[in-house]
A and B are shown apart, each in its own frame.
Chain A
């Protein structure tokens, strides 16, 4: 049987605006429609960020709730796995970064496994106290952490929290490649991330994305190395050099083609649940 590869669609993110690509979905209505189209194109997981009315990243739980309501009401056939960010705004409080998980109980939430300088300009703080609290809460709330790692040290940190019981295996990693202050996006570096994960957290599953110019290199490498893939405008607003993406679904369609041409099959949401270890 062919191996199943999960496509995660990261449709909005915290940064790109309509000026960067008029097709990036920003409102709950736009995001819900976009997620539905990505699901139709083969995405099994949707990683969601919200924007305030000015288009800036926000952790406003009402925006998350409205998006989920619209998706459920308008598209009851859509069984995509929802993965809500816990890092949609660098100035959010530790409370607003997780209250939406408690109230909405999505199947997954992001878990950024360490702190870093962000884009050479700010701080992305994930303190030991916050990661401990978030890990314990996510277990209690039945929300599976997606362990976002921007460098190999964050994988070592995940191994520490696994040993402490703050995280529960099997872990699901998202290798975030090419972000400023993180590990640059290259095949060599992705292989190192995977090998570090295999050594420190054996039995884990993983996905990867590369921002900007490294997107295709990381997409092909992740498929070839047996991982899963994330695509979408959170990480890249350009479809190819000098060409704006028409939609997030366009990215998902390409990822599906790459997966099938390689000889794998695109995982359905239920197959993704099995791979990631979600109860449903």
Chain B
């Protein structure tokens, strides 16, 4: 059984972009984990877990 990835879902407090990071990248990405890919601001964590019904509205950031 898998439930796919576990994500942290964010929005950007500056530009409003919605994005997500898979939690198994916490160690790999270090301080970059959770940053807005557009403006580099620290994202506001909204929720976490397996793919939520609105998952597709959040861009997945992998690096």
Map CB proximity to B onto A1-38 as digits: 1 under 8 Å, 0 otherwise.
Answer: 00000000010011111011000000000000000000
The total number of A-B Cβ pairs within 8 Å is 87
Q: Which of B4, B27, B53 contacts A211 (CB 8 A)?
A: B4
**Residues of chain A contacted by B6 (CB below 8 angstroms):** 119-120, 179-180
B1 pairs with A148, CB closer than 8 A: yes
**Residues of chain A contacted by B60 (CB below 8 angstroms):** 212-213, 238, 241-242
**B63 to A, closest residue via Cβ:** A213
**A150 to B, closest residue via Cβ:** B2
Q: Which of A19, A118, A184, A236 contacts B24 (CB 8 A)?
A: A184
A138 contacts the other chain (CB 8 A): no
Q: How many residues of B contact A (CB 8 A)?
A: 23
- Tell me which residues from 168 to 209 in chain A have a Cβ below 8 Å from any Cβ of chain B: 176, 178-180, 184-185, 209
Map CB proximity to A onto B1-38 as digits: 1 under 8 Å, 0 otherwise.
Answer: 11111100000000000000011110110000000000
Given A15-B51, A16-B51, A20-B55; A87-B1 close (CB under 8 Å): yes
**Residues of chain B contacted by A93 (CB below 8 angstroms):** none
A185 pairs with B24, CB closer than 8 A: yes
- Tell me which residues from 118 to 177 in chain A have a Cβ below 8 Å from any Cβ of chain B: 118-121, 124, 148, 176
Distance in angstroms from B56 CB to nearest chain A CB is 7
A250 contacts the other chain (CB 8 A): no
B4 pairs with A234, CB closer than 8 A: yes
In whole angstroms, what is the CA distance A17 to B3 when docked?
Answer: 11
**Residues of chain A contacted by B25 (CB below 8 angstroms):** 213
In whole angstroms, what is the CA distance A223 to B54 when docked?
Answer: 34
Chain A binding site: helix, strand, loop or mixed by DSSP? loop
A212 pairs with B5, CB closer than 8 A: yes
B1 pairs with A242, CB closer than 8 A: no
Q: How many residues of A contact B (CB 8 A)?
A: 39
**Residues of chain A contacted by B54 (CB below 8 angstroms):** 19
In whole angstroms, what is the CA distance A214 to B48 when docked?
Answer: 19
Given A13-B3, A213-B62, A241-B62; A19-B23 close (CB under 8 Å): no
B56 pairs with A176, CB closer than 8 A: no
**Residues of chain A contacted by B3 (CB below 8 angstroms):** 13-15, 118-119, 179, 211
A112 pairs with B59, CB closer than 8 A: no
**Residues of chain A contacted by B51 (CB below 8 angstroms):** 15-17, 20, 237
B4 pairs with A16, CB closer than 8 A: yes
In whole angstroms, what is the CA distance A209 to B4 when docked?
Answer: 10
A88 contacts the other chain (CB 8 A): yes
A15 pairs with B50, CB closer than 8 A: yes
